Amino acid sequence: MKKRYTLEQKRWDDPAEHTMPEHSRVPASFTIGNVKIAPATVLAPMAGVTDTVFRRFIKNASQFTTPADGVSDSSASVDGVDSITSNQQSGCGLIMTEFTSADGLSRMRETKRKRYLTYYDDEHPISAQLFGSNPATLAESARIVQDAGFDLVDLNLGCPAKRVVACNGGSGLLRDLPLIETIFKTVRAAVTIPFTVKFRMGWNDKHIVCVELAKMAEDCGLNAVALHARTREDGYTGQARWEYIAAVKDAVKIPVIGNGDIRTPEDAAAMVDRTGCDAVMIGRTAPSNPWIFRQIAQYTATKEATGIGTYDHPTDQDRYRMIRTYFQMLVDEIAIEERAEAARAEAITASGQVAREQRHRDCVGKMKQFASWFTHGVPGGGALRKQIFESKNGDAVLGAIENFFANRVDDLPAHPEMVAQDEQLLTAAAAYCD
């Protein structure tokens, strides 16, 4: 059987525990080219996961407020208490798209490109990630991304999937540094927006190239690098080797983003302390704990204020509300797409009907996928996941979730801020539908 790298397989092997240095925390901000990222946290690009719905969902789940004590970007009131939201202490600083085939993007009709590169105003700053191996095609696709209004463009040199590597994309390119250099120079010359790269340490332990690659990126005019501290051969197994992130940071002056094995705010702070990286990137933790960025911001703010980092833990009610919010956003996004088709006066052909049916199947699939991630670690979650996988449609998935949470005894109510965030996001989603 062929090995496939899916999010469900990306488990941690005996997760490391970190001793917290006294002043360890994630930076309030950093800058990539002319784009300020605040706070210094990044949602990793994940195939089949980081579509526009998930990105906006994460952005919303990341927000938190503190008692008003200074100048802020916006104000809010929670339970009648004036509070502020600062973009330097809350939210996910940068979000990234699913990786996109440069070859496919360059061949698409413009109308299809617009659908594929969909994002909304509240997603800025946003980076589009491309994969491929042809310098000219990657450069053309980077121009398409720039013209579409993205703030940054990123090159994927990290994906370990066989189907990507077989095309010399993703981590497959790590075996050909001269070609990577040509790609760097060609894409850099094609666009003016910040250009970054996400890569692994190397193909395997006998072929570690991350420091050399980072230096090359800097010399070719790239604006930042992100290192997933594993090799392609590692896949998602074993411990991420943060010492290589530190080595890259020591080798270049451009910003370095660390990625690998961040499960908690403490992990994020420990990575910054041990490696000196400018920002942290979080992938597989985000679907199972959409509040991770919010928790990192809370941990940072409370540690600065009191010396002890603390953060909220979601209650069962928070989980229930968040699942329902995400599912409603999926349904609303389908409505948006179908209205756009109607506005273009597209005929409902047989192929069009098939496409619509496929969207609804995909929606149910994402419901199942998300509910599965979101119930890991919840007592009794295994039984719920079994019910979800056996569900035939969206109503059945929702029914299983309703029954599960209705029968759970949870003395802790939902956090007021999280309730307010859910309501704000649903209101915004409804507005997109109008």
Whether this prediction's pTM lies above 0.75 is answered by yes
DSSP state of 384: H
- Give percent above pLDDT 70 in the chain: 77
246 or 171, greater pLDDT: 246
The answer to whether the CB of 6 falls within 8 A of the CB of 49 is: no
Q: 164 and 131 in contact (C-beta within 8 Å)?
A: yes
Question: Which is more confident, 145 or 356?
Answer: 145
SS3 content of the chain, % helix, strand, coil (to 5): 50, 15, 40
Q: Tell me the C-alpha distance between 64 and 128, whole Å.
A: 26
- Per-residue pLDDT at 81: 38
The CA distance from 95 to 107, in Å, is: 25
| CA–CA dist 64, 294 (Å, integer) | 6
Q: Does the pLDDT at position 64 exceed 50?
A: yes
Taking 50 as the threshold, does the pLDDT of residue 92 lie above it?
A: yes
Of 131-140, 252-261, 357-366, least confident by mean pLDDT is: 357-366
Q: Can you give the pLDDT at residue 260?
A: 95
Which domains are assigned to the chain? Answer: 7-306 (3.20.20.70), 316-433 (no CATH)
Question: Residue 312 and residue 331: Cα distance in Å, rounded?
Answer: 29
* Whether residue 40 has pLDDT greater than 90: yes
Higher pLDDT: 56 or 112? It is 56
- Tell me, what's the pLDDT at 1? 35
Would you list the DSSP string of 275-313? H--SEEEE-THHHH-TTHHHHHHHHHHHHHHHSS-----
Choosing from 159, 220, 277, 363, the catalytic residue is 159
Q: pLDDT digit string (tens) for 8-22?
A: 445 555 566 665 666
pLDDT digits (tens, 9 = 90+) for 269-309: 999 999 999 999 999 899 889 999 999 998 988 888 888 88
Token pair in block for residue 229: 């501290």
Indicate if 92 belongs to the active site. no
Sign of CA dihedral 401, 404, 405, 406: positive
CA distance 371 to 406: 16
pLDDT averaged over every residue in the chain:
81
Q: How far apart are CA 286 and CA 47, in angstroms?
A: 13
The percent of residues in the chain predicted with pLDDT above 90, rounded, is 42
336 Cβ partners below 8 Å, 6+ apart? 432, 433
Positive or negative torsion for Cα 210, 213, 215, 221: negative
